[in-house]
Amino acid sequence: MKKRHIQKLTLISLILALAFNLPLLLIFNSEAAIFGIPKILFYVFTLWAASAIVSLIIFQKYND
């Protein structure tokens, strides 16, 4: 794997570290629900799924 692809994965990790930071998580901590799921859980699992999909695409597309 080339250095620029490793940099992409590192950038994803840093973005996730910021996105899962407690002050940002507390913004979504409310009684409101999206599709019957509390907003905070929807936020966490959507970010998790998106990061897994993007990482998978990077690994499949750029794996040497």
pLDDT single digits (tens) 16-59: 999 999 999 999 888 889 999 999 999 999 999 999 999 999 88
Structure tokens at 36: 């019957």
Degrees to nearest 5, angle at CA 53 with 10 and 55: 25
Beta bridge partners of 34: 37
Backbone angles phi, psi at 37, to 5 degrees: -110, 135
Residue-level pLDDT at 64: 61
Tokens of 32: 């409101």
Q: Which residues have a Cβ under 8 Å from the Cβ of 23 and sit 6 or more positions away?
A: none
DSSP state of 42: H
